[in-house]
Amino acid sequence: MMKNSVSCRDVVVVRGEQEVLHGIGFDLRTGTVTGLLGPSGCGKTTLIRAIVGLQAQVTGDVSVLGLPAGAPKLRGRVGYVTQEPSVYGDLTVTENLRFFAAVLGVPVSDVAQVIETVDLVSHADVRVDRLSGGQRSRVSLAVALLGSPELLVLDEPTVGLDPVLRRDLWELFHRLADNGAALLVSSHVMDEASRCDRLLLMREGELLADETPDALLTAAGTSDIEQAFLTLIEQKEAAR
C-alpha cells in the first residue's frame, strides 16, 4: 500500500489579521508527482511554506515523513525549491553545490551526480550569474536534489522556461517519483495538470479538488482542465 509523505489536516494560516488558508486537508503520496495548481495569490506558496516548516501562524496538523513539519530530523530528507533561484551568483555551479553539500552534510560525490541529473555538466564551471534564467533554476533544483531527498517541494519550478526545458523537467520529476520520492509541484499554468499523477486545485485559500486529472475531468464533464477548474468554482459559488 502506498504511504503518505505529507498529511495536512485543518491547516489554517493567519497573516496579520487576515486568514489566508482556510482549513486545508490532503495527503501526499510517496512515489507520485502531485500538482498544486491555482491562480497567483491563491495561497499555494503559503501552503508550501507550511509544509517545509517555514510559515508562521500555522494551526492544524502538518505531518511530513511521519514528523511535524520543520522538525530538525527532516533536514536532508526534504528538498525545497523556491520561485527565485536560491544560489550564489558569484560562485560556479560546482562551487555552489559543494557549499550546500557541506551545509547539508551529504557526500561531495553527490555534486557530480546532481549536476548530471539537471543536465548542467557543460556549465559546471560557469559562474551562476552568467547562466540563463532557466539554467539558474536548474542549479537551485540540483541543490534540492543533494542527498536524494524523500520529498521534493517545488514552487513554480517551470515558470518562464521554454517548452522543451519544461518537458525535460517534468520527465525528470517523474523519474524521481519512480525512484521513490514524493514531489509536490506548484504551478499557475493549467496545461501542466495533465503531467501530474494527482492534482490539488486551490482558489482563495481553499482546496477545491484533490483528484487524479482523469477523475477531475470526468466529474466536470469536460476534456479541459481549465474548464474543469471553472466548473468547480461555479459549483462552489452555487452551493453558498
Q: Provide the β-strand partners of residue 67.
A: 64
Rounded distance between C-alpha atoms, residue 117 and residue 174, angstroms: 13
CB atoms within 10 A of CB 146: 23
Q: Within the chain, where are the H helices?
A: 44-51, 93-104, 109-117, 133-145, 163-178, 213-220, 225-239
- Asked if the model's pLDDT at residue 194 lies above 70, the reply is yes
Average pLDDT of 205-230? 88
pLDDT the model gives residue 2: 59
Closest alpha carbon to 52 in 80, 14, 10: 80
Q: Provide the β-strand partners of residue 15.
A: 18
- Global pTM reads 0.91
- Asked if the model's pLDDT at residue 10 lies above 60, the reply is yes
Across the chain, mean pLDDT equals 91
pLDDT the model gives residue 240: 64
pLDDT higher for 3 or 30? 30
Closest alpha carbon to 184 in 66, 36, 71: 36
Lowest mean pLDDT among 13-22, 68-77, 192-201, 220-229: 220-229
C-alpha cell at 7: 498529511
pLDDT the model gives residue 124: 97
Rounded distance between C-alpha atoms, residue 64 and residue 110, angstroms: 24
- Asked if the model's pLDDT at residue 169 lies above 60, the reply is yes
3-state secondary structure of 205: coil
pLDDT the model gives residue 8: 97
In this structure, are residues 222 and 231 in contact, taking their beta carbons and an 8 Å threshold? Answer: yes
Domain ranges of the chain: 1-43+54-77+151-160+182-240
| Residue 151: its H or E element | strand 151-155
Q: Provide the β-strand partners of residue 203.
A: 206
pLDDT the model gives residue 158: 82
Domain 1-43+54-77+151-160+182-240 has CATH 3.40.50.970: no
Closest alpha carbon to 195 in 40, 37, 85: 37
